[in-house]
Chain A
Amino acid sequence: MFLLQGTFRTILVVSAVLILAFVATGFASSAYHREKQLLGEEHYKEGQQLAARGETEAAAEEYRKALLFSPEETNYRLSLATALIDAGRLDEAQSHLEQLLQEDPTNGLINLLLARVALQRNQLKMAKDYYQRAVYEYWPASESTERRKARWELVNLLSRTGQRNAVIAELIQLYANAPGDQQQKAKIGFLLLDNGAVSEAAQVFRDLVKQAPQDTMAHFGLGQVYFSSGDFVSARHEFERAARLSPHDPRTEQALALTNDVIDLDPVLPSITATEQLRRSQNLLSRVIKDLQACPGFQHRLDAAQKLLATKPQSKEDLSLRLHQAAQSLWHDKGLFCGSKPVNDRTLDTVLSRMNQ
């Protein structure tokens, strides 16, 4: 009965008090939130300055204070996590990042940071998962470079763990989404080449040569592609172009010299005479014998090879074939006697590898 027994005035007074209380609390709370936000921003800015100076521990402390005032600010927590990663406090960083991930599981940056934490902890499988999410989840349009950065980090991780096919797949994606940056495209091309994707690398460098015919790197890369595929003449052609564009580039000079040596030594080069083929085959075998001289237990085979070298030719073609077959066989078995001896004669190695293909 009390609500109705209470006079109309009581209800009116209580309603008025309630409205007043709401207004007063509203004013107080908005002032309170404003002040909290200001204090949070102050600490956040201080943290950013400290982080820029490389004082990560102090920066983390400031970010933590900022977060006390504005716990809902994702940026503060992200900055704190980044500072903690830089300071090597991975447990804390992970905890903050996991909380952020709970709130926003499709955020690319959070996944990227978690991948970095996992990588620092050598949890490679977890790092790969987070990197993949970082690459394929959401990034704001303004941060598209961050997605590429994440993909590059993923490529590095995949290379480290020897997952060549996955590396090639990511590199192709990187190339497909690469901006007009020639250097980055060339980097992709070289990595494709290193991972055995010769035709994909050839495509990259051909595109680059087409887009920028005066680009040394493009010609050099294309030369490397030809060299890898055993087309030494085309490789020499591209290296010469690169050398003309950058005359004193030591890398190009070395590649050109090697290619010239290979061409001079190659006994199966098309359009050479039978006499030239025999000379090259003899040269090839004698270089193999010289290279393997120091290996123990090889002597009887090297002696047989010396005998073959001294043989008078009845048919130049036949002898040439026997000579370079002997050279190939010795080179093939060198691991048995010489162990993992490093290759001294790169020209010889290139020619014989090419002949074995």
Chain B
Amino acid sequence: MSRLFYGRRMLANSLAHVSISETQRFLLLALLIGIFSGLLVVLFHISIDVISWTSLGALAGRFHFARLLSPAAGAIIAVFVVRRIFPRAKGSGVNQTKIAIYSSEGHVSSSTIAGKFLACAISIGSGNSLGPEDPSLQMGAGVASLLGRVFRLPRNSMRLIAPVGAAAGIAAAFNTPISGVLFVMEEVLADWSATAVGSIVLAAVSAVVTMRAFLGNEPLFQIPSFELNHVSELMIYAGVGIAGGVLSALFMWLVERLKEQIHELPQWRHYALPAAAGFLTGVTGLWFPEVMGAGYDAVNSALHGEFVWQVLLYLALAKLLVTLLSFTAGTPGGMFAPALFVGAMLGGGLGGLAHRVWPQASSTAEAYMLVGMGAFFAGVFRAPITSIFMVFELSASYVIILPVMIANTTAYLLSRNLHPTPFFTMLAELEGVNLPSAEEKRNFQPLRVEDAMHRVSAAVQKEPGLHLFPDEPLDAALRLLASQHRIQVISRLEPHEVLGTLTLDDVHQAYGIATQEVLEG
């Protein structure tokens, strides 16, 4: 006994003497978060598949009506789990994670992890047209938050740790580490600080490695080889981008309208609507079983030319409809997989049509599926960089980059024009939550010193004391003006050259003008 006690003390002492920086400790924790999130995603994936084999495979083999009723039954059970057992697990995973980061200092309760896991595994596994990535993201954030609490992280670190888990969760779910990292950077954080990037990358990589260790190295899609037949083909890809942009804006508009209408309905809606959406999914599944569940298998089949272009377009529309119904009805599950499905089928359908009309210059439908996937994703989620890298990561082809960039940027810009509010911001607004939009953050142009300073006409002698450069943010100037009532602005190239002066009044005036412009705008 005493030997054991002595051993523990030795270990504790040696640990106490290990000198590692705060950043290194944070990275170590990120590694741990990645591993735990990876394990959780593996179990989540297995659960979805097992439920799906039972409800849509074995059961549907014995009873034909099982396929029809399975999504409805699954939706009711999943809603019950969320409403009665784990009420904290409701809502969009991305938005709930953002709420945790911005309003509850990164705190995601453990019951959220359990609730998301159970409810989403049941709803997706039973055939509802939703995806596992958004719940995985929130579960990853939950794991991070839990580990943060276990290790008694300080409050400022807790807020940083949730996105690390989110990246791990989504990277493991998609099996694409780069996209996972980029999505969290683009959508959840809109922040590129070195510590955040380092720990997010580490968590994403360790989560994907853990996931692959258990589920294998098979990519999400079996991608056939891609090649650009002719430069003029880029026009068709731009066309896919236009279609993706319009359809994504229409989809968001429909989600918004339906969600608004649903809010007016009485309480019975919480169970009745998911059940009805599930039933309609089952009915659609009688003709197009591909639309049930996440739909990755169908995308794989389509990528190998199983469907003609007309069927691809039907599948895109059918999936769009059932996803719209399931999502707006409040059935637990995410939107990423259905968005990839719709985009793939839309791109494939249009590409197939182009190949039929213009066979010499255009590739087969399969090449357009990947591009369509990225375009619709960029249009809905307004994460253009993620969408480009995701397709790149999935296809492992450099040739695809150019078409993807054209299509995704077109879709992104068009969708932003037609439906200015980004998807997750719109959902937050519908739920009455005011969350910072990552896209708005990116587009926000902060005032700089040069916007407020008084330019000097003649050469002025440089004074001793603090100085500013013209490109520095005005916020930085405010801090300096607390200790010095007038600051000279100097050139970066010629540090002795004074370009202007700045006072507190100038700053106030600049902010005043900016505020006025915003109000007028």
B12 contacts A8, CB within 8 Å? yes
Which of chain B's residues have a CB closer than 8 A to the CB of A10? 150-151
Contact of A92 among B8, B214, B304 (CB under 8 A): B304
Contact with A along B327-353 (1 / 0, CB 8 A): 000000000000000000000000000
Does any Cβ of B come within 8 Å of A1's Cβ? Answer: yes
Q: Which of A18, A29, A98 contacts B224 (CB 8 A)?
A: A98
Supposing A22-B39, A32-B49 touch, asked if A4 and B15 sit within 8 A by C-beta, the answer is yes
Judge if B521 is at the interface, Cβ distance under 8 Å. Answer: no
Q: Does the CB pair B29–A3 fall under 8 Å?
A: yes
Q: Is the CB of A71 within 8 A of B152?
A: no
- Output the nearest chain B residue to A8 by Cβ-Cβ distance: B12
CB atoms of A96 and B150 under 8 A apart:
no
**A64 interfacial by beta-carbon distance below 8 Å:** yes
| A25 with B301: CB separation less than 8 A | no
Q: Give the residues in chain B near A181, CB-CB below 8 Å.
A: none
Shortest Cβ distance from B65 into chain A, in angstroms? 21
Which of A2, A36, A72 interacts with B152 by CB under 8 Å? Answer: A2
Beta-carbon nearest neighbor of A17 in chain B: B36
Determine the chain B residues whose CB is within 8 A of the CB of A28 once the complex forms.
42-43, 46
A102 within 8 A of B: yes
B140-199 residues with Cβ-Cβ distance < 8 A to A are: 147, 150-154, 157
The answer to whether the Cβ of B222 comes within 8 Å of any Cβ in the partner chain is yes
Q: A29-B46, A32-B49 are in contact. Are A14 and B214 (CB under 8 A)?
A: no
Q: How far apart sit A29 and B211, CA to CA, in the bound complex (Å)? A: 10
Known contacts A91-B364, A92-B305; is-contact A6 B151 (Cβ 8 Å) = yes
Chain A residues within 8 Å of B364, by CB: 91
Of all chain B residues, which has the CB nearest A28? B46
Chain B residues with CB under 8 A of A13: 150
**B-contact 0/1 string along A15-30, CB 8 Å cutoff:** 0001001101110110
B22 adjacent to A72 (CB under 8 Å): no
Q: Which of A3, A29, A95 contacts B151 (CB 8 A)?
A: A3
Is B428 engaged at the interface, CB distance under 8 Å to the other chain? no
Q: In the bound complex, how far is the Cα of B223 from the Cα of A179, in angstroms?
A: 41
- Bound Cα distance from A21 to B35, whole angstroms: 10
A94 at the interface (CB under 8 A from B): yes
Q: Are A71 and B224 touching (Cβ within 8 A)?
A: no
Chain B residues in 8 Å Cβ range of A18: 32, 35-36
Choose one: A35, A71, A95; the contact of B218 (CB below 8 Å): A71
With A and B bound together, what is the CA distance between A10 and B222 in angstroms? 43
A357 within 8 Å of B (CB atoms): no
- Give the total of B residues in contact with A, Cβ under 8 Å: 46
Least CB distance from A104 to B in Å reads 14
B150-A6 in contact (CB<8A): yes
Q: Mark A316-343, 1 if CB is under 8 A from B, else 0.
A: 0000000000000000000000000000
Least CB distance, A43 to chain B, in whole angstroms: 10
What does the 1/0 interface line of B1-42 toward A look like (CB < 8 Å)?
Answer: 000000010011001101010100100110010011001001
Residues of A within 8 A of B222 (CB): 71, 99
Chain B residues lying within 8 Å of A5, measured Cβ to Cβ, are 151-152
Q: Which of A8, A39, A64 contacts B53 (CB 8 A)?
A: A39
The docked-state distance in angstroms from the alpha carbon of A72 to that of B217 is 9
Contact, CB under 8 Å: B304 / A96 = yes
Check if A68 is an interface residue, CB within 8 A of chain B: yes
Q: A2-B154, A3-B28, A3-B29 are in contact. Are A29 and B218 (CB under 8 A)?
A: no
Interface pair B32/A21, CB less than 8 Å apart: no
Interchain CB contact under 8 A, B151 and A25: no
- Structural contact, B36 and A29, CB atoms closer than 8 A: no
Complex formed: what's the CA distance from A89 to B308 in Å? Answer: 11
Interface residues of B in 42-77 (CB under 8 A from A): 42-43, 46, 49-50, 53, 57
Q: Say yes or no: B16 contacts A4, CB within 8 Å.
A: yes
Which of B29, B154, B222, B225 has the most A CB atoms < 10 Å from its CB?
Answer: B222
Interface of B is mostly: helix
Task: From known contacts A8-B11, A29-B46, A91-B364, infer whether A21 and B305 are also in contact, taking CB-CB under 8 Å.
Answer: no
Across chains A and B, the number of contacting residue pairs, with CB separation under 8 Å, is 91
Q: Which residue of A lies closest to B219 (CB)?
A: A71
In the complex, which residue of chain A has the Cβ closest to the Cβ of B41?
A25
B8-A8 in contact (CB<8A): yes
Q: Which residues of the partner chain A approach B12 to less than 8 Å between Cβ atoms?
A: 8
**A94 lies within 8 A of B152 (CB):** no
Contact A68 B297 (CB under 8 A): yes
Interface residues on A, range: 35 or more
**Main secondary structure on chain A at its contact with chain B?**
helix
Q: Would A21 and B39 be within 8 Å (CB), given that A29-B46, A91-B364 are in contact?
A: yes
CA distance A155 to B301 in the complex (A): 35
Q: A10-B150, A10-B151, A21-B39 are in contact. Are A95 and B29 (CB under 8 A)?
A: no
Q: Are A94 and B216 within 8 A (Cβ)?
A: no
> Which of A92-123 touch B at CB < 8 Å?
92, 94-96, 98-99, 102
Partner of A98, one of B39, B152, B225, B300: B225
Cβ–Cβ contact A95 & B25, under 8 A: no
- Residues of chain A within 8 A (CB-CB) of B214 are 25-26, 29
Q: Is B215 an interface residue (CB 8 A)?
A: yes
Least distance between A225 CB and chain B CB atoms (Å): 48
CA distance A298 to B228 in the complex (A): 63
Contact A99 B304 (CB under 8 A): yes
Chain B residues closer than 8 Å to A95, beta-carbon distance: 224, 303-305, 366
A239–B39 Cα gap in the complex (Å)?
80
User: Which single residue of chain A is at the shortest CB-CB distance from B157?
Assistant: A2
Bound-complex Cα distance A13 to B151 (A)? 11
Give the chain B neighbours of A11 by CB distance below 8 A. Answer: 15
Complex CA distance for A32 and B211, rounded to whole angstroms: 14
Question: What's the Cα separation between A1 and B29 when bound, in Å?
Answer: 12
CB of B25 within 8 A of CB of A91, answer no
Tell whether B260 is near chain A: CB-to-CB under 8 Å.
Answer: no
Once the chains are docked, how many angstroms separate the CA of A72 from the CA of B218?
7
The reply to whether A3 and B11 form a contact with Cβ atoms under 8 Å apart is no
* B22 pairs with A1, CB closer than 8 A: yes
Chain A, Cβ-Cβ closest to B8 = A8
State how many angstroms separate the Cβ of B178 from the closest Cβ of chain A.
21
A1 to B15 alpha-carbon distance, docked (Å) = 12
Chain B residues near A26 (CB, 8 Å)? Answer: 214
B440 interface residue per 8 A CB criterion: no
Q: Could you say which residues of chain A place their CB within 8 Å of the CB of B8?
A: 8
C-alpha gap A78/B52 in the complex (Å): 26
Name the CB-closest residue of A to B223. Answer: A99
Q: Which of B11, B25, B39, B216 has the most CB of A within 10 A?
A: B39
Kindly supply a per-residue 1/0 record for chain B positions 207-248, scoring 1 wherever the CB is within 8 Å of any chain A CB and 0 otherwise: 000000011101000111100000000000000000000000
Interfacial chain B residues near A92, Cβ < 8 Å? 304-306
Smallest CB separation, B5 vs chain A (Å):
11
Contact A3 B25 (CB under 8 A): yes
CA distance A297 to B351 in the complex (A): 63
Q: Are B16 and A2 in contact (CB under 8 A)?
A: no
> Chain B: which residue is nearest A12 at the CB level?
B8
A99 touching B224 by the CB < 8 A rule?
yes
9 tightest Cβ-Cβ pairs between the two chains A and B: A95-B304, A91-B305, A29-B214, A92-B305, A95-B305, A2-B151, A32-B46, A25-B39, A6-B151
18 new A-B contacts, CB < 8 A, other than A21-B36, A25-B214, are A1-B25, A2-B151, A2-B152, A2-B157, A3-B151, A5-B152, A11-B15, A14-B150, A25-B42, A39-B53, A71-B218, A72-B218, A91-B364, A94-B305, A95-B303, A95-B366, A99-B225, A99-B304
Q: 27 pairs across A/B with beta carbons < 8 Å?
A: A1-B25, A2-B153, A3-B28, A4-B18, A5-B151, A6-B152, A13-B150, A14-B32, A14-B150, A18-B35, A24-B43, A25-B39, A25-B43, A25-B214, A28-B46, A29-B42, A29-B215, A32-B49, A35-B53, A71-B300, A95-B303, A95-B304, A96-B304, A99-B223, A99-B224, A99-B225, A99-B304
